[in-house]
Structure 1
Amino acid sequence: MAKAQTVTILSPVNGDVIALNKVKDPVFSAGMMGLGFGVQPSSGEVVAPVSGQVTMVAETKHAIGFTTPDDHLEVLVHLGIDTVDLKGAPFTVKVAAGDDVQAGDVIATMDLAAIQAANRQTTVILAVTNTSDKLESLDVVTGAKAAGDVTATGRLNANTFNAKRQNRLPKAGKYDQLAADIVANVGGVENVSSLIHCITRLRFYLKDESKANDDVVRDLKGVIDVAKAGGQYQVVIGPAVTDVYDAIIKQIGPGFSNDSETAKAVAETAAAAQRPTTPWGKVKWGISNLIGVITGSMIPVIGLLAASGILKGILALLTTFNLVSPTAPTYVIINAMGDSVFYFLPIFVGFTAGKKLGADPVIMGIIGGVLTYPAIVTMASGKATSTLLGMGINANFFGLPVHVASYTYSIFPMIAGAWLASKLEPWLKRVIPTVLRMIFVPLFEVVIVSGAILLFLGPIITVLSTGLANIIVWVYNLSPAISGLIIGGFYQVLVIFGLHWAVIPIVANDIATTGHSYLNAIVSATMVAQGGAVFAIALKSKLANIQELAWPATISAFCGVTEPAMYGINLKYGRAFVTASIGAAVGGFLTGLMNVNMWGFTGSLIGFTSFVNPKGLDFSFYGFLIASAATIVVSFALTWMFGFKDEDANAVKVAPKKRHLGATA
């Protein structure tokens, strides 16, 4: 088994093998091109380090790429440092792209004396350029080696090994086909003078722009748009631009890259997105950053939330049609599967928010565990002994009366806690001696941050949400239609900050005392609206990464769980959340206007039976259908027309990767 999980790589030349971090090239030595090694050559004959197909030979002959047939490792052999300027003079390459070679076959020669005479270094560098996808580790044996000697042993990561065992390894890189299609439709390699990129766009310098087929390029899956400016043929890709750029350069050769111009373009486009100086600009920047932190903290668990939402929807159907009893063990087990990610959400969000904001993610996960600790949950649900500032006092801390809120299903308190920890942790490390940090930094951090959330932040949120709940009840009593408009438009905003929790007891009390809740019917419309908006994005977007989130988020929202739609797509891209809220306002208005009632907790489309009066079908059910249809139409149409374009994905800042080959050649 161990043997099957490893691959061997030969030395491409005679000489002394050195560790990659000893190579005098910052891009390779920092591992930006992947794991590998260097060789200080003693002779100029170059052999294939692996068996496979030659996938790239640079026009300047200084770099040769290979792909292995079984594991699909992409191996680059780079002949010398800063040798691209030599225009291939010191090199003789005996293979071409598409040739099959065996490990140890002679593939090229290099004139070491000529390279040294040109004041260039002769170091041969080998790198596995798809390390992050394929390798778990690479063990290199340094010292004197002959060309063809086994020099490195790589261990395949679990995903690659299992895929290899099951004969389902991909045959090419993720963006190879897109790269080939783009090159073919801009007029082919012969029409390209050079290629650079900024933070969202490929920028071709073409010999003849009329040879490019704009419509075909624009319609390629993964391409957002085509633009022409500054003598450049620009292909808008979005966040994946660096990956697509790498795939193209791998195919057409590093001679077409220009590292200095790429760095300049990246700097210019990144500068345009920097913090503004006007007061309103600062407010917008602050809100954008807050949304970025919230969505960034949620993205890692969005898939789990969507899956759980769908599972909860299925369970709702099973209980609605009496296929499973709510008291049966089957129900309890399935409910645990669907509900656990929400119940323990503070733990997961604590971990992800910690990583996002620079706090220790493990410590933040523990703090999330404090908030969801069974005794704390029980305390939060306990009967209040008195009230203070509208809060029910249900506990005491060293004799001081406190309100302990419920934190299951919540995210904002943990994000606020992660921010506090990111400020507290560096200070603790400065004042606590090194020998004591391992124990006392986590100790103080858990105590201070947990205490801040439980004793201060939670009560503040409770006061605010209680006040808002009182306002909502007042408005609803004044006019159901107006309250539907207001609650529908703003309810999901309350969800973001955890201020909606005071509404839930009102709904529960309504159902417990009267058997129904008009308010819950309005809340249901907001769920449908989030689903309608993300449904429009799922159909409209051509970006695979958007569709991968949008489709399950749509199903989940219609099953009554809006977090994947809201945090994964709508809120992240701004306008879509606004258009969804407008749709929710329309749905809430119609729900209130028609006095739609609801006899159960489960909302959205999956909860259609909650709108059936136990005493007999009445207009509430038809009102639900009318309001839901209007909500979907409005949120879908507004989102399609105004709420989202694939270009919006460009707003997601990506850290530009330092370029290879062009920079190192």
Structure 2
Amino acid sequence: MKQVQLFTPVAGQLIPLSAIQDPVFSQGMMGKGFGIEPSTATLLAPVGGRVTMVADTLHAIEFTADNGLEVLVHLGIDTVELGDQPPFKITVQPDDQVEAGDPIGTMDREAIVAAGKQPTVIVAVTNTMDKVAQLTPQLGTVNAGMVGAVVDLKCDVQPVAGKPQTGKYATLASEIITNVGGAANVKSVIHCITRVRFYLKDEAQADDTAIRNLNGVIDVAKAGGQYQVVIGPAVNDVYDAIVSQLGPGFGDAEASTAAMEKEARQAAWQKMSAWQKVKHALSSLIGVITGSMIPVIGLLAASGILKGVLALLTTFNVVSDKATTYVIINAMGDSVFYFLPIFVGFTAAKKLGADPVIMGIVGGVLTYPSIVALAGGKATGQLLGMAINADFFGLPVHVASYTYSIFPMIAGAWLASKLEPWLKRVIPTVLRMIFVPLIEVVLISGAIVLVVGPIITAFSGALATGIMAIYALSPAISGLVIGGFYQVLVIFGLHWAIIPIVVNDITTTGHSYLNAIVSATMVAQGGAVLAIALKSKVASVKELAWPATISAFCGVTEPAMYGINLKYGRAFVTASIGGAVGGFLTGLLDVNMWGFAGSLIGVTSFINPQGLDFSLYGFLLASAATIVVSFTLTYLFGFSDADVQHVKVAPKKKRLGEEVA
């Protein structure tokens, strides 16, 4: 006996036929099937095949599936009476060929309810007597395009799949689906940088051992209500193959996934102690930061390496920093950092459940040339230690620089995730398309520019004052403090307190002792991620750690920090300890710096233009000590493959003449 699948034509609450308030359907007179109380307007084809009927009143569409099932989609109850002004728009015609999940039209739920009718969407197999042995509906909340029912066929026919099972990873995808309990056991599926993450109805049905031993699977992990199949670098391809075979809708489950995760988080939160809540909040913040950065880590690493190469070209006078060649290459290496708010806005919104496109636009507002010009413009006064460089309806404001920043956008995405659901509740459906984006862009952009930015600037100003006071007291102590905490400041965008001091030092005196300390923190991040690159046996970790190491030693620490060190917690701590040691030695040895480029790639910045002095040797000694400390601590205490929960222990090979246990 073969099983096939009927997909949900609309999102909503899936109910059994017996619950439908129409005796023709509830008693099975039209065949077995299910109903859905719809929550969205878009309609999808429940099967792949040919459209055989579209009612004149547009309230019913019938399909003949490729496997022979005749499937009726009935829109609402007694809606045939609305034929003079049908609340439906159907985009298919008889004889059209469709794939399961293809859009076939829309229905106006509000208009149906206003007419006194019920909007229940009914799916029925009209040739049940000939074809169907059993039909099992998948009751509960569903997205459009998910499996709505599993059908046991009477005859031996080819099962329906969302797409043909072809491609390099089709076999692996098929084996994974089979061993997680089949498509009927899958609620939805998502993926991250290394793992395909299933939400299963019953995890007990999954065969962990069988999946671990599949060629192409690294391991299996279970966390947060997810059944995680660790794939590594090929995760995108395997995920696409899985979704292709499961059918449409499984990979488009952000809303249901977010709801499940929110429910689990709320239940766990109630059981936590006060200290556990603090730790959980910090862990969640780090998770949002790293999760928002992961999609662009590869770009950041590549750009960091390119910026390092450009630094070498200018250092050895191969390219002048005034030449157009320099301008073009610099744009290639710098654009991802300059426009980082746009990318982070998009990824943070996806992570937090807000609209990614709207947050990308907010990021565009912050990097808009006029805003950038305001941030760098001449101050007209001071307010609470902040330079007043603009006004808003006559109110004096401070406009900060947001290029290279991430935290303001993450804060904005969080605000949007709270604002957006409320807007959708209070704004009528017909007005949402225009007014939800309009209000969100205005309020979120305004909140960042007028509130979040000035708050960060105020904190930065206070930090700058404190740092300069410590530095005046003791360069070694300030090196210890700055070296230990500078990369923490980077996470929250507070490092901008130090950058203006460095810029002022170099432009007025030609050198900066403070920048030399900052350089040590870059070396520390590189030393820590180098330890992980050498220690880890996990392919996906090594593949990210090596370019992140190169990028950090080229002066760009974001890939090392967000992609590896901060993500695994202890590694960031051990890197920070290495930075503290390096900063302490840099200050103690009175190391000076005559350029902006830091880390190992900036070695020439430590050569005094007036003649070689101890700054170069001090830099080399401090950098060596930084690498040794951060590398050793990370290798011994800061990281293990257990942190990623996907180390696969290869089975012992059988020796000649040895029996298999």
Q: Which TM-score applies when normalising by structure 1?
A: 0.64
**Corresponding residue for residue 408 of structure 2:** 413
Q: Which amino acid aligns with 1:622?
A: Y
Distance apart, 1:306 and its partner CA:
0.6
Alignment of 1:130-529 (within 5 A): 154=163, 169=168, 173=172, 242-243=228-229, 274-275=268-269, 277-529=272-524
Go from structure 1 to structure 2 and tell me whether the alpha carbon gap of 1:272 and 1:380 turns closer, same or farther (over 3 Å shift).
Answer: closer
Q: Which amino acid aligns with 1:173?
A: L
Alignment of 1:43-82 (within 5 A): none
Q: Which amino acid aligns with 2:229?
A: D
Distance apart, 1:149 and its partner CA:
8.9
Alignment RMSD (CA, Å):
4.5
**Corresponding residue for residue 532 of structure 1:** 527
Instruction: Pick from 543, 548, 551 the counterpart of residue 553 of structure 1.
Output: 548
**Alignment partners' CA distance in 2, 1:155 and 1:40:** 17
Distance apart, 1:424 and its partner CA:
0.9
Indicate conservation of the 8 Å contact 1:484/1:589, yes or no. yes
Distance apart, 1:203 and its partner CA:
6.0
Distance apart, 1:548 and its partner CA:
2.1
Deviations, residues 287-344 of structure 1 (Å, cap 9, x unaligned): 0000011111111111110110011000000100000110111110010000000000
Go from structure 1 to structure 2 and tell me whether the alpha carbon gap of 1:533 and 1:273 turns closer, same or farther (over 3 Å shift).
Answer: farther
Q: Does 1:615 align with 2:596?
A: no
Indicate conservation of the 8 Å contact 1:39/1:123, yes or no. no
**Alignment partners' CA distance in 2, 1:197 and 1:641:** 39
SS at match of 2:450: helix
SS at match of 2:411: helix
**Alignment partners' CA distance in 2, 1:152 and 1:170:** 15
Alignment of 1:2-17 (within 5 A): none
**Corresponding residue for residue 565 of structure 1:** 560
SS at match of 1:306: helix
**Alignment partners' CA distance in 1, 2:536 and 2:460:** 36
Q: Does 1:638 align with 2:633?
A: yes
Go from structure 1 to structure 2 and tell me whether the alpha carbon gap of 1:454 and 1:364 turns closer, same or farther (over 3 Å shift).
Answer: same
Q: Which amino acid aligns with 2:425?
A: R
**Alignment partners' CA distance in 1, 2:174 and 2:304:** 32
Indicate conservation of the 8 Å contact 2:172/2:216, yes or no. no
Indicate conservation of the 8 Å contact 1:38/1:123, yes or no. no
Indicate conservation of the 8 Å contact 1:527/1:562, yes or no. yes
Q: Percent identity?
A: 67
Alignment of 1:569-580 (within 5 A): 569-580=564-575
Q: Which runs of 4+ in 1 moved over 3 A?
A: 17-26, 34-42, 120-125, 144-157, 169-177, 196-199, 201-205, 220-224, 235-242, 244-247, 270-276
Deviations, residues 153-187 of structure 1 (Å, cap 9, x unaligned): 94799xx5xxxxxxxx469638989x99xxxxxxx
Indicate conservation of the 8 Å contact 1:202/1:237, yes or no. no
Go from structure 1 to structure 2 and tell me whether the alpha carbon gap of 1:551 and 1:176 turns closer, same or farther (over 3 Å shift).
Answer: farther
**Gaps spanning 5+ residues in structure 2: where?**
10-31, 36-43, 50-64, 71-127, 138-144, 180-200, 243-260, 648-661
Distance apart, 1:274 and its partner CA:
3.8
Q: Which amino acid aligns with 1:243?
A: V
Q: Which amino acid aligns with 2:417?
A: S
Q: Which amino acid aligns with 1:456?
A: V
Go from structure 1 to structure 2 and tell me whether the alpha carbon gap of 1:644 and 1:437 turns closer, same or farther (over 3 Å shift).
Answer: same
Indicate conservation of the 8 Å contact 2:221/2:646, yes or no. no
Distance apart, 1:514 and its partner CA:
1.0
Indicate conservation of the 8 Å contact 2:389/2:399, yes or no. yes
Q: Which amino acid aligns with 2:447?
A: A
The farther-off stretch of 549-558 and 406-415 is 549-558
Alignment of 1:19-34 (within 5 A): 19-21=6-8
**Alignment partners' CA distance in 1, 2:207 and 2:265:** 18
Q: Which amino acid aligns with 2:283?
A: S
Instruction: Pick from 537, 544, 555 the counterpart of residue 542 of structure 1.
Output: 537
Deviations, residues 558-605 of structure 1 (Å, cap 9, x unaligned): 110000111111111111100000000000000001011110000011
Distance apart, 1:433 and its partner CA:
1.5
Indicate conservation of the 8 Å contact 1:41/1:123, yes or no. no
Go from structure 1 to structure 2 and tell me whether the alpha carbon gap of 1:596 and 1:155 turns closer, same or farther (over 3 Å shift).
Answer: same
**Alignment partners' CA distance in 1, 2:340 and 2:610:** 38
Q: Which TM-score applies when normalising by structure 2?
A: 0.64
**Alignment partners' CA distance in 1, 2:528 and 2:430:** 54
**Corresponding residue for residue 628 of structure 1:** 623
Go from structure 1 to structure 2 and tell me whether the alpha carbon gap of 1:651 and 1:405 turns closer, same or farther (over 3 Å shift).
Answer: farther
Go from structure 1 to structure 2 and tell me whether the alpha carbon gap of 1:314 and 1:356 turns closer, same or farther (over 3 Å shift).
Answer: same
Alignment coverage as a number of residue pairs: 477
**Alignment partners' CA distance in 2, 1:500 and 1:271:** 32
Go from structure 1 to structure 2 and tell me whether the alpha carbon gap of 1:455 and 1:484 turns closer, same or farther (over 3 Å shift).
Answer: same
Go from structure 1 to structure 2 and tell me whether the alpha carbon gap of 1:241 and 1:541 turns closer, same or farther (over 3 Å shift).
Answer: farther
Q: Which amino acid aligns with 2:374?
A: M
Go from structure 1 to structure 2 and tell me whether the alpha carbon gap of 1:222 and 1:589 turns closer, same or farther (over 3 Å shift).
Answer: farther
**Alignment partners' CA distance in 2, 1:389 and 1:271:** 39
Distance apart, 1:540 and its partner CA:
1.1
Distance apart, 1:393 and its partner CA:
0.3
Indicate conservation of the 8 Å contact 2:524/2:626, yes or no. yes
Distance apart, 1:223 and its partner CA:
6.2
Go from structure 1 to structure 2 and tell me whether the alpha carbon gap of 1:647 and 1:18 turns closer, same or farther (over 3 Å shift).
Answer: closer
Q: Which amino acid aligns with 1:538?
A: A
Q: Which amino acid aligns with 1:583?
A: G
**Alignment partners' CA distance in 2, 1:443 and 1:172:** 46
**Alignment partners' CA distance in 1, 2:284 and 2:267:** 12
Distance apart, 1:549 and its partner CA:
1.5
Go from structure 1 to structure 2 and tell me whether the alpha carbon gap of 1:336 and 1:39 turns closer, same or farther (over 3 Å shift).
Answer: same
**Alignment partners' CA distance in 2, 1:623 and 1:359:** 49
Distance apart, 1:650 and its partner CA:
3.5
Indicate conservation of the 8 Å contact 2:305/2:550, yes or no. yes
Go from structure 1 to structure 2 and tell me whether the alpha carbon gap of 1:35 and 1:592 turns closer, same or farther (over 3 Å shift).
Answer: farther
Higher RCO (Cα < 8 Å, 6 or more apart): 1
**Alignment partners' CA distance in 1, 2:538 and 2:546:** 12
